[in-house]
Structure 1
Amino acid sequence: MDIGKNIEFIRTKIGYSRKYIAENICDESTIYRIEKGLQIPRLDILQKICHKLNVSLDYVLSLNDENTSYVYINKLKKLCREFLYKQEFQSIQYLIEEAEIFSENNPNIYDNDFRRFIDWQKAILIHKISQQPNKAEKLLSKLLNNKIINELDINIANSLALVLMELDKNQDAYYLLKEGMRILNKLPVIEDTSLHPRISYNLTYLHYNWGEYDQCIAICHRLEYYLTSNHLLYSMGELYHLIGITYEKKKELDSSYHYFEKAASIFLLEDKMSYYIRTSLALAEISFQMNNEKEGKKTLERAIEKIDELNENNLIEQFTNKVQIIREQYSTSFLN
């Protein structure tokens, strides 16, 4: 396993200098020696380097750790799924580039499912990084070929549904999700445990957008039971947030508050700060609507503290504007 080579590969792809990576961690010469295989980094140093590169330690350690092509392919799939859950699309891009190099160096290995898996990830990157939903739709449709048979097909169908939803083709998206769920329920074994929650969540989101709040709540609670009974945390925070906004639409503020509070706790635990802030702002609004001004102010202040810690200017601006709207809407609460 060549850790230094992996670090150098990621660093150069991002465009960071050795001097930048070394800052507040070690000497620049140490980074050079690590990359050239002249020094094995201590674990604490390696963790700090990974944090600077914005990739997981598992990713750096796994890039070249394959005894067989089977081990490598399955490890890559696992990492792609993890990064997809975390919405770390840049990390997925690095993985796909590494997979392409692996394929070029191993021309005798031909795995059609692996090729489709790579093309599926590429389509996701076209959608999320390149912001080309129409191009992503064409590629995903070609990969699916009007057939949903196995687990990979269901994953592709789910990604295609998300693209279609963005293009306001909601009925087509709904059909794909329902068919994907139907096939999923027939499969004897499921490798990706996040697949059921992802499809269910997207179905509930469509019902919510169509104003079908009772159906949305019903699916949400079934999904909540599925996640709890299978000891899964996957998308639990997002699920609770969706239940919260649905109950808010139904004017059931106590229930809305309850689920927003649960969502905020999970986002804080997962260190998903932008999600935590979004939910905290919603929680503050619900508190003001329930005439709980003290709790509303306290929750708003917690959100503002987290906004100040963000690094992304567009998110800071978005959340700051939302805070201002809340202050203006409930201005009487801030007169004391």
Structure 2
Amino acid sequence: MNIERFIEVRKAMGLSQMELAADICTQATLSRFENNGQVPSLKILIKLCNRLNLPLGELFPKVGVKHSETIEKMNQAEFFLITSEYEQAASLLETIASSELLEEPSLSMRCHYLKGFIMIAQPSPITDILFMFDQVLLEEESSEAEIFRLLAYTGIGMVYARENDLEKAEFYFQKVLEKIYQYPTKTIEDTWRVLHIVFQCGVFFAHIKELDISNALLHYAVTICSDNHVTYYLARAAIQLAKNAMIQKEPTAKILERIYDARAYSKINRNTIALAELARMEQEVRLQEDERKY
């Protein structure tokens, strides 16, 4: 409770403790509140605040405000990581105070995993990257921490693969694969993280010529995208762009390019209705092109 704010307003109004407490409570009750943090009954506190024209809410901590701002920054940084905008992600993470991360282990793990992946892409020295992932692995194990531990193992595998130490890299990727198939995704961020892990595993096994494993992992990644409609609005936007191009009588090649893009996104989502619509659109475009030729 922000008792300092209460005292500040009382003094600004020129009221002594005795004057403020008159007909509300004893001066001793008010003194215990201001000096020792002993909060009186809510009924008394409301009367005191009313006399000061002080909203009661100003005395209570701003629950979740800083926390939500930090999470929003984390979400944006994680999205930048997915879109390979590493400098933007790094700059955003730098705006988060370390004191905010200490308040919540999950935020600290998330920040360290993000920084680790960004450092791989930049690229940074191997010891610095491994130290960043160690910050995740040293946190106490919990169900909430599991996905970040899997991401840390993935990152370590990527580091060793980058250094061409394939035996160590495979050890960490195998460690991830033992658990990632059973990991339950509850949020869109979970889906991003699982996709990132599965994709990076697929890339690694392609690198070591284990193509059957790689193909299986990449097909699994496509299934995750489809099941979670990760590109759903991307497909819808592409379809509309194709329709707009037809209305504007754009060149046939440009219209077909938009149709093909939309078809690719629709296939990812297994959107049979959209695929049928795109087939009709393509047929219409080609018929119009044939009519112009003859």
TM-score by length of 2: 0.49
TM-score by length of 1: 0.43
Larger Rg: 2
